[in-house]
Amino acid sequence: MTVLWLIPFLPLLSATLMLLSAGRMPRYLAAWLGVGSIGLAAVCVALVARAYLADYQVQELTLWTWMSIDNFTPRIAFRVDGLTVVMMSVITGVGFLIHLYSVEFMWEDESICRYFAYMNLFVAAMLLLVMADNLLLLYLGWEGVGACSYLLVGFWYRDPDNGRAARKAFIVTRIGDTAMALGLFLLFTELGTLDIQPLMAAANDRWQIGDTLPILATALLLGGALGKSAQLPLHTWLPDAMAGPTPVSALIHAATMVTAGVYLIARLYELFLLAPPTLAVIAWIGLLTLLLAAFTALAQKDIKRILAYSTISQIGYMFLALGVGAFASSIFHLVTHAFFKALLFLAAGAVIHCLHHEHNIFRMGGLRTRLPVVFLSFLIGSAALAALPFSSGFFSKEGILLSAWTQPGIGPWLWAGGLLGALLTSIYSFRLVFIVFFGETQTEPDRQPGWQMAVPLIVLCVLSLVGGWFVLPLSGVLPDPGHEPVSHLVEYISIGTPLLGLTIAYLLYLGRQVSIASLMASPAGAAVQSFWYGGAHIDKLYHLLLVRPFTGLAHWWRNEPVDLLYNALVWMTRWGHGRLVVLQTGELRWYATSMVFGLLLLLAIVLRDSA
């Protein structure tokens, strides 16, 4: 008897119960259900993982045939291999910690039941996404997590700004999803199946490397991945999505959902290997995104926005790794990133929670002694994010950088770009630490985090430290050519860069050796600051090019232009009526005269014809 089906079912059941209770469920019961269901799911995942690690046997389970029309027979079926085990462990493991943390964070909210319902629903959908054995079920999970993300970003619905952020998140990702749907249509039309394994086999049979069709199909799928994983040019929704409760940002917008795009590409890697141009595009998009987001993070003031841009940037690294074919390295970074970014978000949440919902880092400061647990968490999280030696992020990022270096041709460029990103990452991470936790106290915390918040933080601290030594069971599932031995110089530079960043951050923000204020005061400095503060004005560009024309068109057309045509008909009828009604005078002499004239006319015609 397999427990596989229980894994998504448990969170789904608990979400359904909470939704059916319509908010009448007592909050402690909602909390127990919400956390407990994820905990039980995590236990089931552990059982599945143990079974998998024993013999590396892929587990499959078909629940029912979703629909069957001709040869289109997608099933509700799961397939669990090493990649899925890794993803499930992250989702339920980190998910459990974040749910536990949420109990305290959301305890005073009147809608805590709705919160846990949405969160559990999200976990269920995310699990379906990674467990699906066919692309249609994967798409169900894919859209499901998007909907839950929408519901949770707009959780505090009273503020229209939250609603705007939620809609933006959904619509921008939907643009990518629509491309992905077209990709599914293309794959099914050409290959006759959407089941992932047969699909990849068929693709390898029928297509050669570099054919047009695999390039087109992977490009369309890439659209979906870019939207979900907030990569250029569809990244603009993620910073705004920070409007949701902070644990939501930790789970959905850092640890799990936003990495779905990475998962998709890794899952279909055989298909992507048939399309080298797509892979190259992925690598370049990853590089551009990671640089752009790192620069932007450096200029932000809101603690959550900094972390959001850093998420975009780190996923950029994962895309870079995918693009150079280092699929396992990418997943490795996904895992360590899930640990340290969840940690950072939860720690940021603790700061916000204890500081009366303050988000601006310049109104924080000196929290090192006031919130020691949070400080420790932030320090460890930032070290891992900056990839300081021996943190988890160090191992995963090194792998990516060295894989990029060994890429033939463009390798050194990708490596240099990644290295610049690593430098920036280190600067903005420690800028955050130094401003928030050192210096003078700006705002006094009014409470200390309780155990429900502290325990997840400590567990995640440990994971962020030791996560680099984990060996993921990906051999045989994902190819990772590894990288050829590189010269020690390259290695030393890669290791040294984050330390350099740390030093720069120290000099700028703590040692005050270089006055950042005077730098900012200069016109050039202010212009650069405002350019990056606005996220390189990409939002403004989209607003001008897409949003304004669409809303303008809808406004212009709102009174139904097609009706002008029918109204013209009505008008012509009325006009004709107006002209003809003159004839109906009711005067006998007028009728008699017209009859005589008519008769004369007819006679004239007849006589002319006979003549």
Structure tokens at 266: 């890794």
Taking alpha carbons only, the member of 257, 242, 40, 307 closest to residue 148 is 257
Residue whose CB is less far from other proteins, 64 or 469: 64
Lay out the site mask for other proteins across 68-97 (x = CB under 8 A, - = otherwise): xxx-x---x---------------------
Region for residue 245 given its phi and psi (left: phi exceeds 0; alpha: psi -120 to 50; beta: otherwise): beta
State the nearest-atom distance from the C-beta of 223 to other proteins, in Å: 11
Query: 264 to each of 269, 273, 336, 605, how far by Cα in Å?
Result: 8, 13, 18, 83
State the nearest-atom distance from the C-beta of 220 to other proteins, in Å: 10
Taking alpha carbons only, the member of 239, 228, 255 closest to residue 170 is 228
Residue 66's Cβ-side half-sphere holds a number of Cα atoms within 13 Å equal to: 18
State the nearest-atom distance from the C-beta of 149 to other proteins, in Å: 12
Confirm if 92 and 35 have CB atoms less than 8 A apart.
Answer: no
State the nearest-atom distance from the C-beta of 165 to other proteins, in Å: 11
Structure tokens at 338: 């899930």
Q: Determine if 121 is a binding residue for other proteins (CB under 8 A).
A: no
Determine the Cα angle at 478 with ends 472 and 482, to 5°: 80
- The burial class, CB within 10 Å (0-12 / 13-18 / 19+), for 43 is middle
State which of positions 49-68 bind other proteins (CB under 8 A): 64-68
Determine the Cα angle at 254 with ends 267 and 462, to 5°: 100
Collapsing DSSP to helix, strand or coil, 65 comes out as: strand
Taking alpha carbons only, the member of 92, 77, 86, 59 closest to residue 267 is 86
- Which range of residues in 19-27, 53-61, 462-470, 473-481 is near other proteins by CB under 8 A? 19-27
- How far apart CA 313 and CA 311 sit, in angstroms, is 5
Taking alpha carbons only, the member of 346, 344, 223 closest to residue 281 is 223
> How many CB atoms within 10 Å of residue 66?
15
- Which range of residues in 25-33, 41-49, 146-154, 343-351 is near other proteins by CB under 8 A? 146-154
Residue whose CB is less far from other proteins, 492 or 550: 550
Question: 132 has which bridge partners?
Answer: 78
Selected from 1, 22, 524, 611, the binder of other proteins by CB under 8 A is 22
State which of positions 171-210 bind other proteins (CB under 8 A): 171, 174-175, 177-178, 181-182, 184-186, 188-189
- Which range of residues in 97-105, 159-167, 388-396, 437-445 is near other proteins by CB under 8 A? 159-167
Selected from 105, 139, 207, 437, the binder of other proteins by CB under 8 A is 139
State the nearest-atom distance from the C-beta of 158 to other proteins, in Å: 5
> How many CB atoms within 10 Å of residue 109?
15
Selected from 167, 373, 459, 486, the binder of other proteins by CB under 8 A is 167
- How far apart CA 265 and CA 119 sit, in angstroms, is 25
Lay out the site mask for other proteins across 532-571 (x = CB under 8 A, - = otherwise): ------------------xx-xxx-xx-x-xx-xx-----
Q: Determine if 158 is a binding residue for other proteins (CB under 8 A).
A: yes
Determine the Cα angle at 236 with ends 232 and 242, to 5°: 130
> How many CB atoms within 10 Å of residue 464?
28
Selected from 115, 170, 319, 340, the binder of other proteins by CB under 8 A is 170
CA 89 to chain centre: 19
State the nearest-atom distance from the C-beta of 299 to other proteins, in Å: 30
- Which range of residues in 147-155, 351-359, 440-448, 451-459 is near other proteins by CB under 8 A? 147-155
Number of residues located near other proteins, criterion CB under 8 A: 55
State the nearest-atom distance from the C-beta of 28 to other proteins, in Å: 20
Collapsing DSSP to helix, strand or coil, 60 comes out as: strand
State the nearest-atom distance from the C-beta of 96 to other proteins, in Å: 24
State the nearest-atom distance from the C-beta of 182 to other proteins, in Å: 6
Collapsing DSSP to helix, strand or coil, 590 comes out as: helix
Query: 313 to each of 259, 287, 308, 333, 465, how far by Cα in Å?
Result: 12, 9, 9, 12, 21
State the nearest-atom distance from the C-beta of 266 to other proteins, in Å: 22
State which of positions 330-349 bind other proteins (CB under 8 A): none
Q: Determine if 133 is a binding residue for other proteins (CB under 8 A).
A: no
Q: State residue 454 phi and psi, 5-degree precision.
A: -70, -40
State the nearest-atom distance from the C-beta of 320 to other proteins, in Å: 28
The residue ranges that bind other proteins (CB under 8 A) are 19, 22-23, 64-70, 72, 76, 136, 139-140, 142-144, 147, 150-151, 154, 157-160, 163-164, 166-167, 170-171, 174-175, 177-178, 181-182, 184-186, 188-189, 550-551, 553-555, 557-558, 560, 562-563, 565-566
